[in-house]
Chain A
């Protein structure tokens, strides 16, 4: 199972949406069941996981879901979306199964739009993340500085434990000097305006790290008139290696930046 999310933004002029497909990207690398599936919305209420059937989706069709299409009770909530052939009871937590197992990953188009433009990426949270103890080391060159430019940092955390916990993210320069801290929540689409960050004089890289919890780090930049956008996530550390025991180096990099 993969999970998808809305990039909620504090600016009411921006719309977040996901476009979900009931088909794997490549037949030769997937054992998908070519049948209709149920789209469920997962959310937390009173420290318990809840889910709600959104709709049935026929095989080989897609659906664009805007955050504003959801019921008003979801307006301020982080909602995680997935598809399964099962019928769920309303208290079932997000789970992992083979429904969307595929190479390349079964993704959705995760988008932020204004009336002038839009930006998106093909993204997912793998169900295998649900029970992992993740940390975060995100080395980002995406911050842009200018009079009319704003940068936002998203951290999307999803895990099976419905207790929402706070955790700290530290922002460092390349010399491991602490620049600032922000507080995130688990099972939440965390978003921060990074206006407190000033341009580093000698480098382009900021390091976002957390020892407690991890997630998908996404960087959104916009001109404040909402006429131009950028959206991209940083690679997990092992993506700078091809083949072999890549996880070993992921651990080495995390140990270095997390001082472990």
Chain B
């Protein structure tokens, strides 16, 4: 009985948050407020300059519970780089249907930001009993001119959608900053950018730390991002090779865009 009480306290949301705040046995993500809430990554999109973006939305009920063929109600929430909600789209996908959602360059002319995709289906089977949340971590394609679509899969469990349509951020934050050391170098390309977004409603501070080829610290850029904002941060320091990100978001893994002679590479750091 005592063990059960201790375990329940350990699992309680308050204890979880406090452990994160103090960086004492922190967790990467928070638990959604209710058992039936859907979760989404905060995906980057861009129609800036010659960029095009698309996303393959697939019926997740068919992916998770293929034995229960059913419709999937999709809610796409699109934000610009300043965190303004600029579109709220509802779709229904038939069983096993996949929809190609292309960001309209006329509608979203020369702007960029991030978006959520939340799924809802009537029959959740035994997902709630097994304490699982449906999570959109699918595939975004980016393209310039006549190149191929360059795909990236979802990377975070960024937020859940509350019944009142408010966003609940699931990214863990701390009073102390933690470092994410990217396992990639940057000398091979001619221009480099990090895409960082903030699925939380509160402002978050970031430091981009530059290191030379001997892993010697050179300099840093300080950034702050308001709630639901997105930034494309150009890496401008001379002679840097490696990057670390320091943030109050415990697990801050950005998207990397490297530009080469003819095209670009995009991936999760």
- Chain B residues with Cβ below 8 Å from A28 are 23, 26, 178, 250
Distance from B131 Cβ to chain A, minimum over Cβ atoms (Å): 4
Contact B63 A237 (CB under 8 A): yes
Are A117 and B153 in contact (CB-based, < 8 A)? no
* B171 interface residue per 8 A CB criterion: no
Contacts of B261 in A (CB 8 A): 115-117
Let me know if B183 and A107 touch, CB within 8 A: yes
Nearest chain A CB to B126 CB, angstrom units: 8
Query: Interface stretch among A44-52, A90-98, A154-162, A228-236?
Result: A228-236
Given A203-B98, A230-B148, A244-B131, verify A62-B242 contact (CB < 8 Å).
yes
In-complex Cβ contact of B262 among A27, A116, A174, A242 (8 A): A116
Q: A217 to nearest B CB, angstroms? A: 12
Please judge, given known A-B contacts A119-B150, A241-B132, A245-B131, whether A19 and B262 are in contact too, CB under 8 Å.
no
Chain B residues 1-43 with CB under 8 Å of chain A are: 23, 26, 28-29, 31-32, 39
Q: A122-B268, A122-B269, A203-B97 are in contact. Are A244 and B147 (CB under 8 A)?
A: no
B184:A19 contact, CB within 8 angstroms = yes
Measured CA separation A115–B263 after assembly (Å): 11
* A-contacting residues, B61-110, CB 8 Å: 63-67, 96-98, 100
The verdict on A241 contacting B134 (CB below 8 Å), with A205-B98, A249-B64 known, is: yes
Q: How many A-B residue pairs have CB under 8 A?
A: 180
**A93: min CB distance to chain B, Å:** 25
State the CA gap A64–B188 with chains docked (Å): 11
Per the bound structure, the CA–CA distance linking A19 and B242 in Å amounts to 12
CA distance A109 to B155 in the complex (A): 16
Asked if B127 is at the interface (CB within 8 A of a chain A CB), the reply is yes
Q: Closest Cβ of chain B: how far from A119's Cβ, in Å?
A: 5
Bound Cα distance A31, B57 (Å): 38
Partner of A242, one of B132, B153, B250, B268: B132
Chain A CB within 8 A of B56 CB: yes
Instruction: Choose among B23, B66, B268 the residue that contacts A252 (Cβ–Cβ < 8 A).
Output: B66
Q: Assess whether B64 is in contact with A118, with CB atoms less than 8 Å apart.
A: no
B157 interfacial contact with A, CB 8 Å: yes
Q: B189: which A residues are within 8 A, CB to CB? A: 118
B residues less than 8 Å from A62 (CB atoms): 183, 185, 242
The contact of A253 among B63, B130, B151, B154, by CB within 8 Å, is B63
Majority secondary structure, B binding face: loop
| CB neighbors of B among A215-260 (8 A) | 219, 221-223, 227-235, 237, 239-246, 248-249, 252-253, 256-257
Contact of B180 among A25, A223, A244 (CB under 8 A): A25
Chain A residues with CB below 8 A from B96, complex form:
174-175, 203, 205
A194 in the interface (beta carbon within 8 A)? no
CB pair B148 A223 closer than 8 Å? yes
Given known A203-B98, A241-B135, contact A118–B265 (CB-CB < 8 A):
yes
Knowing that A175-B96, A246-B132 touch, tell me 8 more A-B residue pairs with CB under 8 angstroms.
Answer: A117-B264, A174-B96, A228-B150, A233-B153, A234-B153, A237-B63, A242-B32, A252-B65
Instruction: Give me the interface of A with B, judged by CB distance under 8 Å.
Output: 19, 21, 23-28, 60-62, 64, 103-104, 106-109, 113, 115-122, 139, 141-142, 144, 149, 174-175, 203-205, 219, 221-223, 227-235, 237, 239-246, 248-249, 252-253, 256-257
List the interface of chain B (C-beta within 8 A of A).
23, 26, 28-29, 31-32, 39, 56, 58, 60, 63-67, 96-98, 100, 127, 130-137, 139, 141, 146-154, 157, 178-185, 188-189, 215, 242, 250-251, 253, 258, 260-265, 267-269
Q: Which 9 A-B pairs have the closest CB atoms?
A: A228-B147, A244-B132, A244-B131, A256-B66, A116-B262, A117-B263, A141-B56, A228-B263, A245-B130
